[in-house]
Structure 1
Amino acid sequence: MGDVVLRGDDRHLSGLWFAGQKHFPAHLAVVSSAHTSAPRLPDAVRQGYEELMAYFSGALQAFTVPLALSGTPFQQHIWAMLLDIPFGRQVSYGSLANAAGLPPGGSRAIGNAVGRNPVSVIVPCHRVIGSGGTLTGYAGGLDRKQHLLALEGGIAGNRGLFDAVPIVSGLTCA
């Protein structure tokens, strides 16, 4: 499935992307977990990494790493709503639009905000689905969205599909 890239400091995790996904900040350098000369990881990045490993192994359903989400007030409002979607549950874009008080057709605005989520998986944008249960619109790719939803549904054989890789902004690797 590819690498998961984390960005943050000692206090907050501010980014989590699948390497190469839509809206992935290309200036970040990937630091492999096997890269022995990597600097000390910031505390929140380390916590995010450890929680992701527990999540992908099926041992964690709720993340506690502190987040610093950078976006418009509307995006931040929608991302806060995503954090309220329980593990193993899904909501439609239309339901989110309705809950946000948007007029009919507001699901497009929801989709745009969800698609700009800077902390994938932890801010569970993968739990937002199309009307009728269709899988639509995931910046990390629909195959990953399907695997994340299967993981949360407890389907055997879908654990361990991801390699999490901590990231330190500005670091360059040979």
Structure 2
Amino acid sequence: MDIYTTIDSPLGEILLVGDGTALTRVSFDVASGRAGLRTEPGVFAEAERQFGEYFAGERTRFDLPVAPRGTAFQERVWAELARLPYGTTTSYGALTARVGASTDRIRAVAAAVGANPLLVLLPCHRVIAADGALTGYAGGLERKHALLTLEGVLQPQLWSTL
């Protein structure tokens, strides 16, 4: 049976789910994501430490055991997500080429990116539209923008109160 804990972050609470040896899910969907799971916070101490360092700007790579569960194609796409360097972005088209899929498979690649069970760890937030637009993110576009800002890809936005 999978176990879970939640951690605080600047982007809200994050759900960590694992099998006791590896993380299987990282999500911002805390309320519905933990149904039927038991909690065991101590198991995730290293993950909590690394997330804290990431959000403090002190870590650019995670070094945690992960075991995402998906189809062979999804896992191939997720493996390429894991290779995307901190502080960079790529397009869905470029990612499609990186996984060795033909251009007519771009929607399948986008669907696999959208099914990523390990948000932040497998940095799907670094995948953007070919025109540079921020599109789709399971954690919401505001969080995607915040993650890319943290990584130095985007400039912080100044909001007018006028």
TM-score above 0.5, yes or no? yes
Partner amino acid for 2:51?
L
Offset at 1:2?
2.2
Change (3 A) 1:149 1:156: closer
Which portions of structure 1, spanning 4 or more consecutive aligned residues, are displaced by more than 3 angstroms? 154-158
Q: Is residue 25 of structure 1 aligned with residue 24 of structure 2?
A: no
Partner amino acid for 2:22?
H
1:23-62 equivalences under 5 Å are 25=33, 27=35, 39-42=40-43, 45-62=44-61
* Secondary structure, aligned partner of 1:15: strand
* Secondary structure, aligned partner of 2:85: coil
Partner amino acid for 2:21?
R
Alignment root-mean-square deviation, CA: 2.5
Distance 2:12 2:41 in 1: 23
TM-score (norm 1): 0.76
Distance 1:55 1:123 in 2: 13
The structure with the greater share of residues assigned to helix is 2
Deviation string 1:130-172 (CA, Å, 9 cap, x unpaired) is: 01211001111111000000000077879xxxxxxxxxxxxxx
Q: Any gaps of 5 or more consecutive residues in structure 1?
A: 32-37, 159-174
Q: How many residues align?
A: 147
Percent identity reads 38
Q: Any gaps of 5 or more consecutive residues in structure 2?
A: 1-10, 158-162
Higher relative contact order (CA 8 A, sep 6+): 1
Deviation string 1:12-32 (CA, Å, 9 cap, x unpaired) is: 1111001259xx636267x9x
